[in-house]
Chain A
Amino acid sequence: MILLAKLALGTLGTVVAAGGVISSEGFVSVRVHEKKPGGTHVSLMVPAMVLDTGLRFVPKENLQDASEQVRPWLPTIHAAIDALKSEGDTTFVEVREENQHVTVGTHNGAIVVDVDDDGETVHVSTPLRAIDNAIDQIAAAGPKN
């Protein structure tokens, strides 16, 4: 009985620790809601670490072009992300038209894009830290100088 309890405790501890590690970088959230009757509703919450890990499995030759393009802008991207991290929640861009409303901003350390128009509403939220890591990985995929 005690052995079973120890085993359960060990499993629970492992699950909690794994959950903590996986969610440490936050979550990428995507929600799409089509307003027409019978429209699609998609709601995804993916740990940002999956993005990071997934990029490791992309063949480097597929990232070389992106790497070459992103490298000259790395200092600018890092400076921007660092500055955004230290800012509070901000709406950077808002576009309001007759049938459309778009906002781009930061919320709780994530870049958030919201689109609401006649046909659908879309919400995408990506942690800044995940974007930073992903860009670093893409940049590192190119040939070493």
Chain B
Amino acid sequence: MNKNLQLGAVLCLLAGVVVMGAVAVKKTAAATTPEKFIHVRVNDASKGEMVSVNVPLSLAEKVIPTIHNGNLRNGKVTIGNMDMQDVDVRALLTAVASSPDNEFVTVKEKDQEVRVAKSKGNFIIHVTDLSSDSDESDKSAKPDKSNKKHGQNVDITIPISVVNALVPNEKQELDLVAAIRALSNASEALLVTVHDGTQDVKIWIDSQNDGSK
């Protein structure tokens, strides 16, 4: 009888340890949900300059609603007199979101190419501009002896959920905080890359706090 009691007590103890362990593991998993950062990196190879900005999305989410200045109030930007010509943008976006991945628009000109597509829940905009105007704007840059047209490449990838959050409501407001939340919930992604001559701009989201990816 005594042995049975002892066995019961040990089993209860073991069960308690297992339950507490499971709870602890669950809590740890919740606590270590990685913080997302938005990174902006500007590189100018000709001048040897680099600027890097890393902002935690949670910081932006907490700070932006407290700013009440100009058109930005309570985390929303009011855009004045935006005439959508009776187009239901939200319905349009929903339709695009539920359609299969596809390239919707392709424009090809002599020096320019624009493509708009949808892929894996993202809007993708790709612009290639081969005109050499952009090179002439920066006279201070070291001359390129290759005499090659650099042009400009712009790639934008935006999760559809973020675009949805940025659709203006009936008060003509863009909800920045909702867009940041949507970005936080989106997977790690490269949002914008711009290549212009010797300059590169990159904006992306990941869980690294110093943009060392």
Contacts and interface: CB of A to CB of B under 8 A. Distances in A.
Interface in A74-122: 75-76, 78-80, 82-84, 86-98
Interface in B49-75: 49-56, 58-59, 62-63, 65-68
Nearest to B41: A94
Contact of B210 (A79, A91, A95, A97): A91
B62 A83 contact: yes
B100 interface: no
Contacts of B49: 95-98
B47 interface: yes
B209 interface: yes
Interface residues on B, range: 20 to 34
A89 B209 contact: yes
Given A87-B35, A88-B209, A90-B210, A79 B51 contact: no
Nearest to B53: A93
Contacts of B143: none
Given A79-B66, A88-B209, A97 B56 contact: no
Query: Is the interface on chain A under 10, 10 to 19, 20 to 34, or 35 or more residues?
Result: 20 to 34
Contacts, number: 66
A80 B54 CA distance: 14
Given A76-B67, A79-B66, A87-B35, A92 B50 contact: no
Contacts of B210: 90-91, 94
Contact of B47 (A82, A87, A97): A97
B80 interface: no
A82 B52 contact: no
Given A83-B56, A87-B56, A91-B209, A76 B63 contact: yes
A74 to B, nearest CB: 9
A94 B49 CA distance: 11
B50 A95 contact: yes
A95 B51 contact: yes
Nearest to B40: A93
B52 to A, nearest CB: 4
Contact of A96 (B50, B53, B65, B211): B50
B112 to A, nearest CB: 33
13 contacts: A78-B66, A80-B63, A82-B62, A83-B58, A83-B62, A87-B209, A88-B209, A90-B209, A94-B51, A95-B49, A96-B49, A97-B47, A98-B47
Interface of A: 72, 75-76, 78-80, 82-84, 86-98
Interface of B: 35, 37, 47-56, 58-59, 62-63, 65-68, 209-211
Given A87-B209, A96-B48, A97-B49, 6 more contacts: A72-B68, A79-B62, A83-B56, A87-B56, A91-B211, A98-B49
